[in-house]
Structure 1
Amino acid sequence: MTVSNTEPNLQNNRIEALRTNKLYLTIFLTFLLSSGVFLHAQDIPVKNDTNIPKTEKQEKQEAAKNDTLSVDLKPIASELNERAQDTVKTDSIKPAEETLTDVVEYFGEDYVYLNRKEKKVYMYNNAYIIYEDMRIDAGLIILDYNKNEVYAKGIDSSGVYSQRPVFVQGTNRVEPDSIRYNFNSEKALVFNSRTEQSGFNVISEVTKKVNDSVIYLRNVKFTTSKNIDDPEYYFYTRKAKFIPKKKIVTGLTNMYIADVPTPVGLPFAYFPLSEDRTSGVIIPSFGENNSRGFFFQNGGYYFAINDYLDISLLGDYYTNGSYALRGESSYVMRYKYRGNISARFESLVEGERGFPGYSEGSIYNIRWTHSQDAKSNPNSRFSASVNLGSSRYFTESINQTNNASALVNTLSSSVSYSKTFEGDPQVNLTLAGTHSQNTNTQQISMSLPNLNASVSRIYPFAPSNGAKKGIIQNINFQYSLSAENRILTTDSLFFKPEMFNAAQIGAQHNIPITTNFKVLKYLSASIGANYRETWMLKTTRKRYDQNAFDGDGGIVQDTVPGFDSYRTYNFSTSLGTTLYGLFNFGKDSKIQALRHVVRPSIGYSVNPAFDRYYDEFRIPLTADEAAGEIVEYSRFENTMYGPPSKIFSSSIGLGLSNTFEAKIRDRDSTATEPKKVTLLNNLNFSTAYNLAGDSLNWSAVQFSGSVPVVPKLDLNFSGTLDPYALDNNNRKIDVFNINNGGSLFRLTNANVSVNYSFSSKDFNKRSASRSRTENETFRNGGRPDDLFGEATDIYDGRIYEDETEEEEEARTNVEWYNYSIPWDMRLAYTITYGNERRQNEISSQSIMLSTNLSIAPRWTVGVSSGYDFKNNGVTLTQFRFQRDLESWQMSFNWTPIGSINTAWYFFIGIKSSMLSDIKYEKRRESDKRL
């Protein structure tokens, strides 16, 4: 091997393997010897002599004359040729293969020195060498051609070791103190290396790289800490075998915290390093429960089926016989859909068999969410949000610490598929199933399935082009269909055959016809009529049976299967306008102008009486008398949509909407325009007068409105004003309250509510943090905020799992002298007043408060609580303490006050999901029997 560069002072060079010249010399000598046999020397002809070629006859005559001197040269030439070929035969010893098969690039900022005697190249200061997929950066690099090795180390200047080597081969990166690498065997010997593999930081005193797939380590530290020089914790072992991107297998391993060994040790350890999800065992947590004994919780197996689907099977076991099974799965198809499904079952045993207080029971819960990307198919969409199960699940679950979910009173589900058929007119079709469950009364209402179809508006008299004008051209009609199978049942009969016995099936067809037009340019008028047809597959018949009820007689109701229907129709019209009032106070005034927007409206509606759908039967006074009480009923009673109205109504509706706005002088002196603010938003009043009624013709006045107090804080109010008075028995009479010695209206009920959310970021004008609405409580049907407390993830307890590197840096890199303390607060207040029967009382009044405060860069405390002014008591209260321990995290949630959920939960563990099983947790569950 020779070096192509002979100048020792060049800084950036390339070395290539060169072929030896022996091969070219052999070929050249062979060519000369062969040419010497076949060629002969020729004399230079005499000047002016003509060299005439001889004929064949002349050549024969001359050959005959010199016959005694003729020699056959062919054998001699052949022998000489063979001898010549023998002397230039290829050497039987094959030349050595080239050591370097690719270009070597090297660089040194201060100098690159080639020592021909030692056959070494020295590169100094910010040096690097590149060969194939290998690159080494270091302060000093020495390339040895005798051993075909490269040696790299840092620079020791004034006791400071800098420019440590950085060895990169493929996707592997190592930062050692020094390194030796052999080009022939591709083996390396690394001293004090630092590398990162799948979130693991590996610090090894001596590393021997055997090949690309096997690396042996000695005196090794494993940690997920980002501070490699001084990790707050690590696992130490003397020997380890490292297979990149697959696993690390060690011998005796011990955990160190702050360089102090702990009793946590294992005879061997296995650390998986797969970059993809892999199947594996989920290690359970263990502890003791006062009523159920020792337990193992949340243990099972995780199945990583593929990149789009996974399944987790978990279970709990208590020594008193209680157990729980859970299955959870997540799936996703990018740009198409995503979702998750979970099913939970728990068998609960309380007390000891044969002793008082012993009980057995089971609870379950099923949840499923599915969302479709809107771009995957604009004309069809499938979605699901399912949350059903036992009404007592969230209050009695042995592995449920979500207090907020226990306060949920309603479980609801919806699965729907919608399809749009483009065209003129457009047709929309929706097929769905719904479920609603009251956890207090344990009543369940299901609609499975239900069908909704509609046809867009059709204007039969509209012009082919141009705007529609006039009452005729604006005539339009629609069509809609609603059909469902409704099931009403209880929690105890859910999923049993009895729940289907009382199922009701029906359908409604609606055809509204409307038109609108202008009256006197400023009045907007509309006229409409609606036709409705209702179908039923079950009706009822009532009759009086003297022999019923053990001969005592009574009303018997029979269910009659079969198709039946009724038809209804009505008519309505309305008239409205918009009025503007502006009051100017001058540009020098703080309030420069007031604007009042009024939208009055009046309407009239007629609903005919459909008494033909009603029947009668008689209840005799005695068994012998035919006379008696006449009972009127409709066969459509107790059906899905109920019976049509048998009372004729003709009423006039009145409405008034108000908005008050102001223009005020802006505090900013550079502003050229006044600032616009809303003083009163949507102050609405509505009432009606029944023309066909014989008494109590006026309906109560409904009012509602909103008052903006400060940005993001609105005071919402609503109520009812009744114009009629009450008698001594607190019953409404046909006398106006003002004529009975009272005021014009009687305030029968009112409600005021305030919701406010603010934080320190509202004052320093920083962007708000990301909202986490997809939390456990929200999926269970509760509030998305933390007014009832935050849900604790009992599976891994992670707190900071969703933080990005920028968010973590902003949260932790805070100077201690910085007086700014991040905080946030949510406030909700509501009060309800009731006075329908002169009770004149506050029926409910409560305030809820939630706040979080970062008292230090890594400390966060929070509290959620409230007070019930009606019952004079503190509502459910939760205290939260969270500590970021760099690579670890700690949390403590305590619920000291609550109806049934007083408990606490403590967790400390490693943040990394790879080591999520290394944790300690302890909790005290609430007494579910209370």
Structure 2
Amino acid sequence: MFINMISFAQDIPVKAKTINRSIADSLVISSDSLQTPILSEKKQDSTLIDSIKPKKELLENIVKYHADDYTKFSQKQQKLYLYNMARIDYGDMNITAGSITIDYTKNTVYAKGIIDSIEGYTQKPVFTQGSNIVEPDSIIFNTDTKKALIFNSKTEQGEGTVIANITKKENDSVYFLKNAKYTTAENLEDPEYYIKLRKAKIVPGKKIVTGLANLFIYDVPTPLGLPFGFFPQSEKQTSGVIIPTFGEQNERGFFLQNGGYYFAINDYIDLAVLGDYFTNGSWGTRLESTYAKRYRFRGNVGFRYENLITSERGFEDYSRGTIYNLRWSHSQDSKANPSSRFSASVNLGSSNYYRNSVNQVNSGAFLNNTLASSVSYSKTFEGEPQVNFSVTATHSQNTNTETINMTLPTFQGSVGRMYPFAGKNGSKKGIIQNVNLQYNLRGENRIQTTDSLFFKKEMFDYARAGFQHSIPINTNFKVFKYFSMSASTNYNEVWAFNTINKSFDASNRQTVTETVNGFDTFRTYNFSTSIGTTIYGMFNFEKEGKDPKIQKIRHVMRPSISYNINPAFNKYYESAEVINANGLTQSELDVILENRNLEFTRFEQGIFGVPGKNFSSSMGISVSNNFEAKVKDKDSTATEPKKVMLLNNLNFSTSYNFAGDSLQWSPVRMTGGTQLFKDKMSINFGATLDPYALDSNNNRIDKFNIDNGGSLFRLTSANFTASWSLSSKKGDKKDDNNDPGIDENVRSGGRDDDLFGVSQDFANQQINPAKDKENEEPSELYNYKIPWNLRVAYALNYSNSRRQNEISSHSLMFSGDIELSPKWSVGASSGYDLKNSGFTYTQLRFERDLLSWRMNFSWIPFSARTSWNFFIGIKSSILKDLKYEQRRQPDIRL
């Protein structure tokens, strides 16, 4: 084998002479201080400054898609087909539907449902973008322009839903609709009412603006409509007008009531300004504000003022008056500050406000007899001993007598209990180690005035101030193993800044009292001790071979004997000076002075009482009893008998005064109470038994009644009260705390139930809480269990202190509600005065749940406040001004 090969070679070049780097180039000039920067080739790239912009990507976001049956892509048509439980995620947009088609050439997404042979049209599209959710029959969406056409859609907007045949989505913030329906009904397939919007524009989360719109009820058009409308859709509270109600009153003409403006100030506080106007000139205003800060505090403030005019000027029955009321409630969260607390509960104003007010919101509180207020701040300083102080302003007002008592302010301070003789290890055993003491301080500035002087400078003219210091010293110990004994003494010191001086004007035969300004004080002390024990008894009814229903009765008795000594502090008493006795003989003066007690103490008008004048040495006796039974349980699987309370308490008490010269025994006071029928019925009773007899003038004499031919005791007074709450199993679920009418009663100082009626201000009540539809059992024809509840209160008082032998008061109060059907409820509040044979204040209530609507009717059939109130309106707060209200107010004369 011969191989032809051709080879080539390269000559190695000869090395040249190297350049000496140390020799400077003669052509190099000294370098410039400002060197020219070297330009980067990347910056000089001509493509970066090309005037032709690159083409935009076909899709801006990643498309995520899924389908249960199949996913098919057509290369020729540039379309993606998804079928059955299809889903697409594109940016903040999400579409789920039965069938979805994506056209990449037109940048459109077409979604629709699928037709099932059994269920029909199913898997309708659900379009979600941001917080907006649309449920149409089908939708065409452009991913480039973000515009869409939506067919037969249902869109939630605030509390309502918009149902539209065709909806054009302009962008993320604007929708245009044609022939749409706006409703708050739950059944969107067949809404009981809707507002038809011929043309509308929706800005999600902000507003709905519409052209011609009118109300339809079950697809029947009504003449109630507007040429244009505006529906706010803010998720936060917004300010707006409150539409008033209208009506007529015989004495004051036509009126507009409870209209005004709501100010949504911020997230923590709001304000509602409401007003009333009558055509005869009467008017009223209400300011209501609620505030809250999480984990800190919450409260509400309300001020009401009414200028009431009866009849017309120039007529004989013309009258005019003003009434007002101020309410404030403030509570502090327990987490805010564990060592200090501020609270307020204020209800003050005109004594006749609730009786004369013409506003329906006050109808449930006109029977209030007392207005009370309290504003307090307390602080605790932890340590050993603990120190506490509080500052309180109180107010109490009797609406019948128009008397007002106030403390501005009351200061209370205390130093915690100290054990000076306790062991070093902290043990407290025996009479000495258990000795303890504490210090209490109370200061008051007390004012008593009337309605006419309230908030005027004259109310301070009779203000009285003072301080009281007290140091109680106590100890307790065991004696004879089973007896507990305690002993205590108390030192009391009172500071006064005003005292009095009395003198007797003999010529005018009257006592003259003068006020003396200046600091003064008195000191008192007393001693007391008590001994008591607990005795247990068991009555066993179980016998061999027998199994009785009542097996055992347990009796717990706690007898106690106490002894008290109160010294006489005669040094603080003196006799009044006799003046102007000229012209009177000594015998005439003696007769005058004999018929008058001129001994007094200068501390008589003090706010902390007076020092005791007479020595007192008394013994107190009391016995408390408790009865409990063990009965056989109806449950055969129970291993222990069931405990049943027979009597919660049965107490007897009296006292004997060793230092008295007559009538040494005090009347025996008996009290008791129990709960029956699984605590549904509460019973309380009491009686006073006097051991002494009466003379012919019905005055007590120092002679026992049994020695006077009578019984051992005279029954001088007795009382019996009972309250019973009955309800069916479903009616038992009613919670009065969620009833806005009951809440209004409590804020006005009334009862926490509806025995005296509730507020009739239906238009401003909160929306009734929705019922639990899931747990609601379907009704059966002719076998429906009607929910109901009934509250009964019975009171009886007997008086016989001076042989009057009379029933001083005898009444029966009752209230209840009955749900005739799932949508109809009837309620009533009334009572009967058994002594005077007449019905008390009566209120009948009817309510009909009309699904999205609410209808109320309240009727007071008789009394001076005869009236009725009819209301029908939409439950939703966004449309609560769509209502009709008609009322007949009581003709209240000032």
Superposed pair shares fold, TM > 0.5: yes
Change (3 A) 1:772 1:219: closer
Distance 1:920 1:52, change over 3 A: same
User: Which residue is equivalent to 2:522?
Assistant: 566
What one-letter code is carried by the residue in structure 1 that aligns with 2:672?
A: G
Question: Residues 197 and 604 of structure 1: is their aligned pair in 2 closer, same or farther, counting only changes over 3 Å?
Answer: same
* Residue type of the alignment partner of 2:717: N
Answer yes or no: is 1:127 the counterpart of 2:86: yes
Structure 2 counterparts to residues 309-348 of structure 1, below 5 A: 309-348=269-308
Distance 1:285 1:721 in 2: 58
CA shift for structure 1 position 139:
1.6
Contact between 2:215 and 2:223, CA under 8 Å: does it hold in 1?
Answer: yes
For residue 695 of structure 1, give the secondary structure of its aligned residue in structure 2.
coil
Q: Deviations over 1:189-217 (max 9, x none)?
A: 11111100111200111111111111111
Match of 2:669, as an amino acid?
Answer: Q
Is 1:832–1:844's contact at 8 Å kept on the other side of the alignment? yes
Q: Give the Cα separation in 1 of the matches to 2:252 and 2:456.
A: 31
Asked if 1:693 is matched to 2:652, the reply is: no
Conservation of the 8 A alpha-carbon contact between 1:811 and 1:858: no
What CA distance in whole angstroms lies between the structure 2 residues aligned with 1:357 and 1:46?
145
Q: Please tell me whether the aligned partners of residues 395 and 406 of structure 1 are also in contact (alpha carbons under 8 angstroms).
A: yes
State the match for 2:512 in structure 1.
556
In the TM superposition, residue 816 of structure 1 has moved relative to its aligned partner by: 5.1
Question: d(CA) in 1 for partners of 2:734 and 2:324?
Answer: 38
* 1:612 alignment partner, SS class: helix
Match of 1:353 in 2: 313
Contact 1:417/1:431 (8 A) holds in 2: yes
* Deviation digits for residues 541-596 of structure 1 (CA, Å, limit 9, x no counterpart): 1112357xxxx453211111111111111111111111112232326342222222
Q: Would you say the 8 A contact 1:884–1:890 is kept in 2?
A: yes
| Partner Cα separation in structure 1 for residue 629 and residue 48 of structure 2 | 109
Correspondence for 1:192 among 139, 142, 152 = 152
Cα 1:57/1:714, change in 2 over 3 Å: closer
Q: Find the counterpart in structure 1 of residue 851 from structure 2.
A: 886
Equivalent residue, structure 1, for 2:878:
914
Contact 2:249 2:891 in 1 (8 A): no
C-alpha distance in 2 between matches for 1:519 and 1:553: 60
Normalised TM-score (structure 1): 0.88
CA distance in 2, matches of 1:492, 1:90: 90
Whether 2:610 is the aligned partner of 1:643: answer yes
2:677 corresponding residue in structure 1: 710
Match of 1:585 in 2: 541
Distance 1:490 1:91 in 2: 92
Match of 1:662 in 2: 629
Aligned amino acid, residue 826 of structure 1: R
Change (3 A) 1:89 1:901: closer
- Displacement after TM superposition at 1:794 (Å): 4.7
Q: Does 1:217 align with 2:177?
A: yes
Counterpart of 2:826? 861
Partner AA of 1:99 in structure 2:
L
Give the direction of change, closer, same or farther, for the CA distance of 1:810–1:668 in structure 2 (3 Å limit). Answer: closer
Give the match for residue 699 of structure 2: 731
Deviation at residue 470 of structure 1 after TM alignment? 1.1
- Counterpart of 1:113 in structure 2 is 72
Q: Is the 8 A contact 1:878 1:897 kept in 2?
A: no
1:925 matched to which residue of 2?
889
Q: Distance in 2 between matches of 1:56 and 1:655?
A: 134
Aligned-pair CA distance for 1:160: 2.5
1: CA distance between counterparts of 2:812 and 2:232?
Answer: 50
Q: How does 1:365-404 map to 2 (within 5 A)?
A: 365-404=325-364
- Distance in 2 (CA, whole Å) between partners of 1:265 and 1:129 is 41
* Larger deviation, residues 519-528 vs 665-674: 665-674
Name the counterpart of 2:837: 872
Matched residues in 2 for 1:118 and 1:733: separation?
Answer: 118
2:721 to 746, 753, 760: 753
CA contact (8 A) 1:761 1:768 kept: no
Q: 1:234 aligns with which of 191, 194, 207?
A: 194
2:356, 2:892 within 8 Å by CA — same for their partners in 1?
Answer: yes
Deviation at 1:414, TM superposition (A): 0.1
Give SS of 1:156's match: strand
Give the counterpart of 1:843 among 808, 833, 845. 808
Using the aligned pairs only, state the percent identity: 57
Please give the per-residue CA displacement for 1:613-634, whole angstroms capped at 9, x wherever unaligned. Answer: 1111255877343543161111
Which residue does the alignment assign to 1:803? 769
Structure 1 residues 54 and 904: alpha-carbon distance in aligned structure 2, compared to 1, 3 A threshold: same
Contact 1:832 1:845 (8 Å CA) reproduced? yes
Are 2:403 and 2:451, in contact at CA under 8 Å, matched by a contact in 1? yes
Give the equivalent residue in structure 2 for 1:267. 227
**Aligned CA distance change for structure 1 residues 762 and 669 (closer, same or farther; 3 Å):** farther
Could you list the per-position Cα deviations for residues 136-181 of structure 1 after superposition, in whole angstroms to 9, with x for gaps in the alignment? 1112211112211111112234492222111111111111111111
The answer (yes or no) to whether the contact 1:394–1:400 under 8 Å persists in 2 is: no
Q: By how many angstroms is 1:484 displaced?
A: 0.7
1:924 Cα deviation after fit: 1.2
Contact 1:874 1:897 in 2 (8 A): no
Q: Secondary structure at the match of 1:444?
A: strand
Give yes or no for contact 2:616–2:659 (8 Å, CA) kept in 1. Answer: yes
Q: In structure 2, give the amino acid aligned to 1:750.
A: A
Corresponding residue for residue 777 of structure 1: 745
Shift of 1:272: 0.4
Whether 2:484 is the aligned partner of 1:524: answer yes
> How far did residue 48 of structure 1 move?
8.3
Q: Which moved more, 1:104-113 or 1:727-736?
A: 104-113
SS of structure 2 residue aligned to 1:471 = helix
Distance 1:270 1:727, change over 3 A: same
* Cα distance change of structure 1 residues 511 and 555 upon mapping to structure 2, 3 Å threshold: same
Separation in structure 1 between the aligned mates of residue 762 and residue 636 of structure 2, nearest angstrom: 55
Give the letter aligned to residue 421 of structure 2: F
CA distance 1:89–1:556, shift in 2 (3 Å): closer
CA–CA separation in structure 1 for the residues paired with 2:815 and 2:6: 124
How far does residue 654 in structure 1 lie from its aligned partner after superposition?
Answer: 0.6
Q: Matched residue of 2:270: which SS?
A: strand
Q: Secondary structure at the match of 1:556?
A: strand
2:747 is aligned with 1:788: no
Residue 861 of structure 2 aligns to a residue whose secondary structure is strand
> How many residues in Structure 1 have an aligned counterpart in Structure 2?
849
What's 1:448 paired with?
408
Is 1:500 the counterpart of 2:456 in the alignment? no
Compared with structure 1, are the counterparts of its residues 139 and 469 closer, same or farther at alpha carbon in structure 2 (3 Å cutoff)?
same
The residue number in structure 2 matching 1:41 is none
Shift of 1:469: 1.0
Deviation sequence 1:264-306 (CA, Å, 0-9, x none): 0111000000110111222222222221122221122211111
Confirm or deny: 8 A CA contact 1:478 1:511 kept in the other structure.
yes
How far does residue 743 in structure 1 lie from its aligned partner after superposition?
1.0
Equivalent AA in structure 2 for residue 461 of structure 1: F
How far apart are residue 876 of structure 1 and its match?
Answer: 1.0
8 Å CA contact 2:301, 2:329 repeated in 1 = yes
Partner of 2:106: 147
Structure of higher RCO (CA pairs closer than 8 Å, 6+ residues apart): 2
CA deviations over 1:230-264 (Å, ceiling 9, x no partner): 11111112111111111111111111111011010
Aligned to 2:648: 681
Local SS of the residue matching 1:771: helix
Q: Which runs of 5+ in 2 are unaligned?
A: 18-46
Match of 2:266 in 1: 306
Which residue does 2:136 correspond to in 1? 176
In 1, the alpha carbon distance for the partners of 2:734 and 2:878 equals: 31
- Structure 1: which 5+ runs fail to align? 1-43, 59-87
Q: CA deviation at 1:115?
A: 2.0
- Of 869, 876, 891, 1:905 maps to 869
